Structure 1
Amino acid sequence: MVLSNSQTSPTWKHTASSLVAHGFLFVSGVSLVWALLSFVYHPNPNFETFKTNPNLCYDPPQTTFYDDPHLSYDIERPMKDWDMKRREWFKHHPSFNAGLRNRILIVTGSQPSKCQNQVGDHLLLRLFKNKVDYSRLHGYDIFYNNALLHPKMTGFWAKYPLIRAAMLAHPEAEWIWWIDSDAMFTDMEFKIPLERYENHNLVVHGWKHLIYSKQSWTSVNAGVFLMRNCQWSMDFMQAWASMGPQTQNYDKWGRIQKSTFKDKMFPQSDDQSALIYLLLNKNERAKWEDKIYVESEYSLSGYWLGIVDDLTNERGAELMMGDCRGAVGSWRRPFVTHFTGCEPCSGDHNPMYTWEACWKGMLKALNFADNQVLSTFGFVHPDLLNSSWVSRRA
């Protein structure tokens, strides 16, 4: 069974972006984890990442874009000449040049207020721990936010002001990897095959035939994606966010999306429908399509309902077969499992699921992933539905 291709995307709410809990957005706070400083032993560590030692204290005498008094982190103010500004910044910070093409900043977050679901904050903590574990094992930085960066861009739209600000705040990062709070890594060893995306600037999980033949609003998942830190991305986010709630045309775009995507179940304009619209519209498609990679060969955002029943300790312990970089036909543990529709913070889950199914699925997936970390310390969770019980690894 190819686990990575088993998911479909039935959704009641926005399948990709569960950053929402009662009108608040999941984004932006203040927690930067430097993975290089917290590396722990792993059987197959990625030592390539640790060959470089950027000088974090060096402040060059030359001016950079940060010295421009007109610099703005606001998504509503277009950024110009970003590629040139980044090149100039690297010129004055040469210690960051080594390893640039593979440098990733993972960005995620949650709402600023406490969860209404009584176990919601506990689940968000464990979901964040999962992302920190993965980041540490692969030498990635991670940025966790819980504040709203634009007062009108709430819900699924809240991540875009953050991603744009992250690009400016971290010019050393080649890729910004957004991952929703309710998505988790379930293959802690798998590494994104960046060489596959050498000629692309946006990588999103989806299925091309559903985009172009079915025109389905679930043909891609906008809750987990990689975006290159470049001028193209700045421009694309302007086009993408032009359908958001901060614009005067928000209601109009909701009507256009609803008429375009017959399976869309709510009238508001959302970022996932906006992305697909840009791929379908003739004029927009010509500007953007060539730089967007629709990934379907591994589970960059795997639908949880098609995954959790197959997660067992036996599967977790199996050696990987085939190409560990995600070749077609190879078998791996599912890379990212996304609990779309479960809404762990609010508890306001999709009525097509029970909360018990969501709860047990998240426990199982979290402990499945945690075993891949704990095993290096000699312990495992023998029962994937019991987070408290650990035993010595056989």
Structure 2
Amino acid sequence: MAKPLLHGKPSRDRPCYSFCVAVIGVVILFWTVWTLTDSLPTFSAILSVQDTKEKDCLNLNQAAKHEPSDKTFYDDPDLRYTVDQRIDGWDEKRRDWLKHHPAFLAGANNRLLVLTGSQPSTCKNPGGDHLLLRFFKNKADYCRIHGYPIFYNNLLLHPKMNSYWAKIPVVKAAMLAHPEVEWILWIDSDAIFTDMEFTIPFERYEDHNLVIHGWPDMIYEKKSWVAVNAGIFLIRNCQWSMDFMDTWAQMGPISPDYDKWAKILTETLKDKAFPNSDDQSALVYLLLKEKRKWGDRIYVENTYDLHGYWLPIVDKFEEFVEEYEGIERKEARLRRRHAEVVTDAYAAERNRQLDSSRRRRRRPFITHFTGCQPCNGEHNPDYKGDSCWVGMERALNFADNQVLRSFGFGHPDLRNGSYVRPLPYDYPRRQ
């Protein structure tokens, strides 16, 4: 009669057998624990999800299901989201909230929320609403590719803060609504992401709280109201930013000194084009007159197109296409079909190739149609004919081609956004 394997196996094989039994036991134990706790995601599981940006929404949903019972700043009945109410101790409040929501700690330093918006009413321009839809689609595409949440606002959160001042109440409310994000990117409705692969160099702004596109010599020497562009900016979610926005807002329609500020700005910035107080002129004024208080924390960026003025850009899109396709013709791996979620790896290789190129003709990150008003159909009188609308069509299709490529299609003609065709295998092939 055969003996049980435990006793009948030669002694030199018993360690292997014991190891197998132990492994089986661990598997059974793990399966039992997993079965009992399947509905309770662990902290380590949440963190592992956080490390993968394409699963960020899953992580946020898990965290939301486990809102702690401890009180946070949200339980303060005196808290106000409105722009005319000051927020104190925001850094401490935010830090305490994150302590109660540890799932959001991983990657917090570079977490970004994108904000944009338009007016509450229907566009006067017959094609204006369609244009705004396409402009928003462009922003949604960029955010999806990079894993950023986006909020589109089409309401005045303060009745007096309209037009270009409307962004400040939105930014403040968004900071309070999203204590988990470190940075907020405001981008005007008439701006387009035209490099869908570009990633913001957050490490460059470690010691700064506000990033604007501009030129220091035009600020401090020429004192020009167009020295910066206030339609697109990065702002850190912190007490400094809360204080800065309070100061900035007090130069706008919410202030009893609004007319006074209009006179001061006009006298200070000699090239100011219109008499009323506007957000951009106010920003230049604060840099000029309160540099010690604010300027050291404001980064004036011009090494890439955080704001790319549209007029000199829109006629060069074919040149950008040729530059990038030239790289891809030489690198077969860049022509490989791939899923949209792994776009970052291909972007990194393209950037490496561009860095080694002498020409280094990079696509503009953002193309901003300042002076063109897609909603009401008006435009700066210096712009000829339909140049605004032709430029918008070309920019939207140029950006859209970068998105459609992962879906196997492309616009062969940048002037025609309604026509697409399938892309052949190994596109673009060697000539």
The alignment's TM-score, normalised by the length of structure 2, stands at 0.77
2:381 matches 1:341: no
Shift of 1:168: 0.2
Candidates 391, 410, 413, aligned match of 1:383: 413
Distance between the aligned counterparts of 1:47 and 1:135, measured in 2?
Answer: 17
SS in 1 for 2:395: helix
DSSP 3-state at the match of 1:306: coil
Q: How far is the alpha carbon of 1:56 from its aligned partner? A: 2.4
Preserved CA contact (<8 Å) 1:167 1:229? yes
Task: Supply the distance in 1 between the matched residues of 2:413 and 2:364 (Cα, whole angstroms).
Answer: 19
Which of residues 257, 266, 289 in structure 1 aligns to 2:265? 257
How many Å separate the matches in 1 of 2:51 and 2:95?
26
Q: For 1:300 and 1:148, how far apart are their aligned partners in 2? A: 25
Give the aligned partner of residue 381 of structure 2. Answer: 351
1:303 aligns with 2:309: yes
Max radius of gyration: which structure? 2
1:117 to 1:56, Cα distance in 2 relative to 1, 3 A: same
Tell me the CA shift for residue 392 of structure 1: 1.6
Aligned residue pair count: 346
- Of all paired residues, the percent bearing the same amino acid is 61
SS at match of 1:143: strand
After superposition, residues 140-159 of structure 1 pair within 5 angstroms as 140-159=148-167
Alignment partner, residue 247 of structure 1: 255
Deviations 1:299-324 (A, max 9, x none): 00100001000012435645445587
Aligned partner of 2:224 among 201, 216, 219: 216
Deviates more, 1:137-146 or 1:305-314: 305-314
Task: Report the AA paired with residue 240 of structure 1.
Answer: W
Cα distance in 1 for residues equivalent to 2:97 and 2:205:
24
SS of alignment partner, residue 105 of structure 1: strand
Structure 1 residue aligned with 2:65, among 57, 60, 77? 57
Distance of aligned partners of 1:48 and 1:260 in 2 relative to their CA distance in 1, 3 Å threshold: farther
User: C-alpha displacement at 1:354, in angstroms?
Assistant: 3.2
What are the residue-to-residue correspondences of 1:322-337 with 2, within 5 Å? 330-337=360-367
Comparing 137-146 with 347-356, greater Cα deviation is found at 347-356
Alignment of 1:370 onto 2:400: yes
Who is 2:202 aligned against?
194
SS in 1 for 2:311: helix
Deviations 1:225-260 (A, max 9, x none): 000000000000011111001111001110111111
**Residue type of the alignment partner of 1:173:** V
Relative to structure 1, the CA distance from residue 151 to residue 316 in structure 2 (aligned partners, 3 Å threshold; closer, same or farther) is farther
Q: Is the Cα contact below 8 Å between 2:114 and 2:148 reproduced in 1?
A: yes
Partner of 2:106: 98
Q: Please state how far the C-alpha of 1:208 moved relative to its aligned partner.
A: 0.7
The residue that corresponds to 2:17 in the other structure is none
How far does residue 75 in structure 1 lie from its aligned partner after superposition?
1.0
Aligned equivalents of 2:358, 2:211: Cα separation in 1 = 17
Gaps of 5+ in 2: 1-49, 328-349, 425-431
Amino acid at match of 1:49: K
1:57: how far off? 2.2
State the partner residue of 2:294.
288
Q: Distance in 2 between matches of 1:373 and 1:74?
A: 37
Question: Residue 349 of structure 1 contacts residue 355 of structure 1 at CA under 8 Å; is this kept in 2?
Answer: no
The structure richer in helix per residue is 2
Secondary structure of the 1:168 match is helix
Cα-to-partner distance string for 1:149-187 (whole Å, 9 max, x where unaligned): 001111110110110000000111111100000001000
Counterpart in the other structure of 2:342? none
- Do structure 1's residue 207 and structure 2's residue 215 form an aligned pair? yes
Deviations 1:78-131 (A, max 9, x none): 100000000100011111111101110000011111100011001000000000
SS in 1 for 2:305: coil
Q: Determine whether 1:123 maps to 2:123.
A: no
Normalising by structure 1, we get a TM-score of 0.85
Cα distance in 2 for residues equivalent to 1:167 and 1:119: 33
Secondary structure at 1:311's aligned position in 2? Answer: helix
* Distance in structure 2 (CA, Å) of the matches to 1:191 and 1:257: 35
Matching residue of 2:174: 166
2:51 touches 2:107 (CA, 8 Å); kept in 1? no
SS at match of 1:331: coil
| Structure with larger RCO (C-alpha < 8 A, sep 6+) | 1
Q: Structure 1 CA distance, aligned partners of 2:66 and 2:405?
A: 39
Which of these residues, 390, 393, 398, is aligned with residue 360 of structure 1? 390
Deviation at residue 393 of structure 1 after TM alignment: 1.5
2: distance between equivalents of 1:266 and 1:307?
A: 26
Task: Please list, as runs of the form range in 1=range in 2, the aligned pairs for 1:107-122 lying within 5 A after superposition.
Answer: 107-122=115-130
Q: 1:276 aligns with which of 256, 275, 284?
A: 284
Alpha-carbon RMSD across the aligned residues, in angstroms, is 2.0
3-state DSSP of counterpart to 2:64: coil
Is contact 2:310-2:368 (8 Å) kept? yes
Q: Secondary structure at the match of 2:235?
A: strand
